[in-house]
Amino acid sequence: MDKILVTGGLGFIGSHTVVALQDEGFEVIIVDDLSNSSIENLDRITSITGKKPIFEELDLRDKTKVQNLFKRHEGITGVIHFAASKAVGESVENPLKYYENNLNSLIYLLQEIDKLPHSNIIFSSSCTVYGQAEKMPITENAPVQAAESPYGNTKQIGEEIIQDVCKVKEGFKAISLRYFNPVGAHESAKIGELPLGVPQNLVPFITQTAIGLREQLSVFGDDYPTPDGTCIRDYIHVVDLAKAHVVALKRILNNNNITNYETFNLGTGKGSSVLEVIQAFERVSGEKLNYKIVGRRAGDIVSAYADTEKANKVLGWKAELSLEDAMRSAWKWEQYIRE
Ligand code: UD1
């Protein structure tokens, strides 16, 4: 069976993808520096799948270590690259940390992948590359706009670097997956999203408020030009997202790709407002959420949801789980980790 390297494989999306890969019989090697993840996830993944992935604690900013990693593990046929810093606000405060971490690690990986007989990479990108798109839903042809933050810029530059490599290396195959808003947790509630410190993202803030860790959720603005005045996003269940990585990986492993560099939007195609997310949470949890409307958050866009046609028809993947499924699993996970 194919041997797949998953960087950031103990993180939120990474851990769910490792489970999906193992469920499909892939042999997985995880690399993670544990900067934003927990080693406990290794045992949790093992208890879900019944198979312990190989684990290497390693900082991908160290070129020699990356070279040695590939020497230690011969026969890697695909890499899924999640490992990256992802806090938008922190990236504005400390841009060099973001450029160093997110770009150096990518470059060192690509150099090693290039030496392999099978050069295949799936790259974690983001709908942030579209900025505030003019037309909804957002297709893959929507123009990439100047990034709002160094974090967003590392995703754009990362895509460009990979694309440039693919232009000159015929055997090099890559897919950038542009995620909308990943939420939820595995149905077992053994793995999920565990932000360090105060959550920046909506769903962990909701569940932490409901469990009593945070006093109140601030809803950032209700005066946007949307039906209820709050911002609209496309919340995609992390288990659906994880499966999309397996589908994308098989596509390039089996040479089913049309061009050697491809991009796909990963979303549900449905936009939900902040208030709709809160209502979905309240419905599935039976909890009343303490929230108040406050001013807008700087840098927030009004609306972003995916046109899923390319992912559905070309990639052959479709989100199956609902926002309620996501909120139910996120709540179950929050309760599990606070026990
Ligand atoms: C954010 C990042 C985006 C990144 C993504 C990764 C920003 C501006 N954007 O997306 O670049 O790719 O995370 O997960 O940080 N909200 C509240 N109260 C809160 C938190 C959020 O009302 O306490 C609202 C926001 O205003 C937004 C929605 O909830 O309308 C979703 O916010 P969030 O989860 O932070 O995701 P994005 O901003 O879409």
Q: Specify the CATH number for the domain of residue 292.
A: 3.90.25.10
Residue 107: the pLDDT is 98
SS3 37: coil
State whether 150 and 114 are in the same domain.
yes
Q: Please write the tens of the pLDDT for every residue from 80-108.
A: 999 999 999 999 999 999 999 999 999 99
Q: Is 212 inside any structural domain?
A: yes
Q: Is 220 in the pocket of ligand 1 (CB under 6 A)?
A: yes
- The H-or-E segment that residue 49 falls in is helix 40-49
Contact 137, 305 (CB under 8 A): yes
291 lines ligand 1 (CB under 6 A): no
Residue 54, strand partner residues: 29
Residue segments in the chain with a per-residue pLDDT below the cut of 70 = none
Residues 132 and 160 in one domain: yes
87 and 219 belong to one structural domain? no
Does 244 lie in the same domain as 227?
no
Other beta carbons within 10 Å of 313: 10
The answer on 261 and 162 residing in a single domain is yes
Q: Whose CA is nearest to atom 29 of ligand 1?
A: 202
- The pLDDT of residue 1 is 85
d(C-alpha 38, C-alpha 57), whole Å: 11
Q: Of these residues, 151, 224, 235, 261, which one is catalytic? A: 151
Residue 220 Cα: closest atom of ligand 1: 22
Is 151 labeled as catalytic in the residue annotation? yes
Residues 170 and 274 in one domain: no
Q: Which residues pair with 78 in a beta bridge?
A: 4
CB distance 106 to ligand 1 below 6 Å: no
Q: Are residues 255 and 275 in the same domain?
A: no
pLDDT (0 to 100) of residue 250: 98
Q: Which of 13, 224, 300 to mutate to test the pocket of ligand 1 (most atoms within 8 A of CB)?
A: 300
Domain count, the chain: 2
- Dihedral sign computed on CA atoms, order 239, 241, 245, 246: positive
Ligand 1 atom 19: residue of nearest CA: 202
The rounded Å distance from CA 271 to ligand 1 centre is 14
At 292 the pLDDT is 98
- 254 with 144, same domain: the answer is yes
Q: Do 256 and 273 fall within a single domain?
A: no
Give the separation between CA 111 and CA 182, rounded to whole angstroms: 29
What's the first-to-final CA gap in the chain, in angstroms? Answer: 38
Give this prediction's pTM. 0.98
294 assigned to some structural domain = yes
Residue 101 CA, ligand 1 centroid: distance in Å: 22
Q: Determine phi and psi for 12, rounding to 5 degrees.
A: -60, -65
216 shares a domain with 110:
no
Please indicate whether residue 297, judged by its CB atom, sits closer than 6 Å to ligand 1: yes
Q: How far away, in angstroms, is 109 Cα from ligand 1 center? A: 29
CA–CA distances in Å: residue 182 to residues 138, 143, 179, 237, 332: 16, 22, 7, 6, 16
* Residues 166, 75 share a domain: yes
- Ligand 1 proximity of 312 Cβ (cutoff 6 Å): no
Predicted local distance difference test score (pLDDT) of residue 339 = 83
What's the confidence (pLDDT) of residue 215?
A: 98
Q: Tell me, what's the pLDDT at 291?
A: 98
Residues 174 and 283 in one domain: no
Nearest to 34 by CA among 8, 53, 60: 8
Domain of 74 in residue numbering reads as 3-184+235-266
Atom from ligand 1 closest to the CA of residue 277: 29
The CA distance from 119 to 122, in Å, is 10
Q: 157: burial class by Cβ within 10 Å (0-12, 13-18, 19+)?
A: middle
